[in-house]
Structure 1
Amino acid sequence: MRYAFDPELAAALAMMAEVDISDLAAARAAQAAELAAQVAVTDTAGVAVSDVTTDDGVRLRTYRPEGHGGPLPAVYRVHGGGFVLGSPDADHEANLRLCRELPAVVVSPEYRLAPEHPFPAGLDDCYAGLCFVAEHAGRFGIDADRMAVAGDSAGACLATATAMLARDGGGPALRFQYLDSPALDDRLTTPSARRFDDTPVWNRPSALIGWNAYLGAGVRGTAGVPALAAPSRARTGELAGLPPAYVAVMEFDALRDEGIDYARALLTAGVAVELHLFPGTFHGASLVRHAAVVQRATAEAVTVLRRALGR
């Protein structure tokens, strides 16, 4: 490898399966089988896990810590997968951990995937799910005044776009947005997007496939892509009034610079932002849970969300 990866991450690469979405059906089948096996053996002790369906037909997986009375804060956490892969199973273990450690109710929406359902289908599902949770806060044991959105990669794109919809449509008054390795710019013209075409897990070729699926053939990179689809397109005025944000980026990630640029754009718009670049990392490094740099990033996620939600 020509990249100076963190030694613990580099050692784990040989054991990590390559993510290849050029055959999407095969990639989905392989991921679903792997995630189902993981979910089956994951310890859910101390957390009540349930699935509900909104009036709009959006399935939500909820995680509530047991033994905590009174309304709790909520984290509405959107899974990643390049707009084309994934389900709540992808974040099952992470959501359990977040639920226990905050503690808070964690909600994971199962949104429609591209290319079968291009923009704005997945975003519509995410927003409908958020509104349902807020409207039924009592049912979920949630304090609707202490809600945050969160997501990684494509999930971070959907999370911040959901925050835009909430601001503009009179939706839930969100306290915070946590954006991990966000996929925000369909143009893929930043230095990191041009350079990192062979990095592990996710890279420029993968991003091209994901954006083309999400936006539709021939749309990516054109002038008409709206900010709700690719938030890096937002003008300063379109970002004003969004909730405070934490943006985490990985050093050797094609998406690194668009995350940094988005953090700066939020700051310019008057939105409070904390930005952290984790050295020696690549997109999806969080899969290597034993690595010290990953544990540091995970602990920081809990810290900033706890602070933002008033725990």
Structure 2
Amino acid sequence: MSAQHDRLDSESRTSLEAFLGALPGGFNGIPDIVARREASAALNAAGVEAAGGPDPSVTRDDRTVPGLDGDPEVPVRVYRPVDALADARLPGIFFIHGGGMIMGSIEGEDGMATAYAREVGAVVVSTGYRKAPEDPHPAQSRDCWAGLQWMAANAEELGYDPERLVIVGGSAGGNLALATALRARDEGGPAFALILAAYPMLDPSNTTPASHSITEVGLWDRAGNIEAWEWFLGGSEPDKYASPLLETDWSGLAPIFIDVGTEDMFRDEDITLVGELVRQGNLVEFHLYPGAFHASEVLAPEASLSKRIMANRMDAVKRAVAAGQPGAVDAAAV
């Protein structure tokens, strides 16, 4: 194993090393993107089977919703706690999966979306989106915006309170959560009680110290990130909806929650964004986890560190949607 593994949280590292033993080189060790996606889907399906199938405490409803003008329909999955009263107006969560803009799916993050529905007691709409390289930017951003507009227009039927709406995403989904929140502000879309971006993928330049030093963890490293950004941008220059770091005006937004690990190559770009948000007066809650690598809480959910990561996210969402306290997230120093 790489010397970089010595810096990882020991419990989480055990799961990572088992993963790399089963898939040497990680997902990026599979050059063909279609085969890479298939390997990811197979591992996810095996995990669901090992867990005894989908969590029965939450219902799932797969739908397709209209894309933006000229775009294909967008798949979404609607989650609702089974024990919620039929006429209850629950909090709402718009959930965006990760995958570097090139992988990932609604199915692949069914467990995470389910956890938010169960733990928060919320209606969750998990959106799919087109992937690069077949469909570069702005396909991903457009599909997320279309999914959010559908959710906002159907609050009554879905049974959630639009005054208690949160947007959540991790990695590429964190990028898209921030970009979608910016678009909602810019185009008069729905308001949020909280924007939660877990270790967001933000910077196509790959010039930060973390980008150069975190190269051999094995889950999402420099070479794979460079490839993903090249495919995602498709030769075009990024705008703020591709790279939210390019936004210069962060006014008019809900409180923002960001977390990242010290051993995540997105660490420095995320810290840069948090610093800018604080300087501009935004309410920000930020967590930097020693020894956490990219998506370590997904790969090692039973690790104590992973449980702390998820507890802090759930707590932030619960506070944000608490009755009478929309956006109730404490400001935190960088």
Question: Is this a same-fold pair by TM over 0.5?
Answer: yes
Deviation larger for 241-250 or 2-11: 2-11
Q: Is the 8 A contact 2:91 2:164 kept in 1?
A: yes
Residues 79-118 of structure 1 aligned to structure 2 (within 5 Å): 79-118=97-136
Q: Deviations over 1:123-165 (max 9, x none)?
A: 1000110110010011111111111111111110011000001
**1:73 and 2:91 equivalent?**
yes
Residues 1-311 of structure 1 aligned to structure 2 (within 5 Å): 1-3=2-4, 4-16=7-19, 17=23, 18-20=26-28, 22-39=31-48, 41-56=52-67, 57-69=73-85, 70-217=88-235, 219=236, 224-235=237-248, 237=249, 239-286=250-297, 287-310=299-322
Deviation larger for 86-95 or 119-128: 86-95
Q: Is the 8 A contact 1:200 1:283 kept in 2?
A: no
Q: Deviations over 1:54-98 (max 9, x none)?
A: 122111011101222311111111111010001111211111122
Give me the whole-angstrom Cα distance separating, in 1, the residues matched to 2:269 and 2:295.
Answer: 16
Deviation larger for 82-91 or 193-202: 193-202
Secondary structure at 2:27 match in 1 = coil
5+ unaligned residues in a row in structure 2: which ranges?
A: 68-72, 324-334
Q: Which amino acid aligns with 1:225?
A: P
Q: Which amino acid aligns with 1:5?
A: L
Give me the whole-angstrom Cα distance separating, in 1, the residues matched to 2:100 and 2:172.
Answer: 5
1:39, distance to aligned residue in structure 2 (A): 4.1
Q: Is the 8 A contact 1:22 1:209 kept in 2?
A: no
Q: Which amino acid aligns with 1:194?
A: H
Give me the whole-angstrom Cα distance separating, in 1, the residues matched to 2:37 and 2:277.
Answer: 34
Q: Is the 8 A contact 2:141 2:179 kept in 1?
A: yes
Give me the whole-angstrom Cα distance separating, in 1, the residues matched to 2:247 and 2:74.
Answer: 27
Give me the whole-angstrom Cα distance separating, in 1, the residues matched to 2:178 and 2:53.
Answer: 29
Q: Deviations over 1:275-304 (max 9, x none)?
A: 101111111201101110001101111100
Q: Is the 8 A contact 1:181 1:255 kept in 2?
A: yes
Q: Which amino acid aligns with 2:83?
A: G
Q: Which amino acid aligns with 1:234?
A: E
Secondary structure at 1:197 match in 2 = coil
Give me the whole-angstrom Cα distance separating, in 2, the residues matched to 1:254 and 1:101.
Answer: 29
Give me the whole-angstrom Cα distance separating, in 2, the residues matched to 1:234 and 1:43.
Answer: 39
- How does the TM-score come out when normalised to structure 2? 0.88
Q: Deviations over 1:216-262 (max 9, x none)?
A: 13x4xxxx421111011221x2x211221110011111111111111
Q: Which amino acid aligns with 1:126?
A: C
Q: How many residues align?
A: 304
4+ aligned runs moved over 6 Å, structure 1: none
Give me the whole-angstrom Cα distance separating, in 1, the residues matched to 2:284 and 2:208.
Answer: 21
Secondary structure at 2:176 match in 1 = helix
Give me the whole-angstrom Cα distance separating, in 2, the residues matched to 1:266 and 1:137.
Answer: 30
5+ unaligned residues in a row in structure 1: which ranges?
A: none
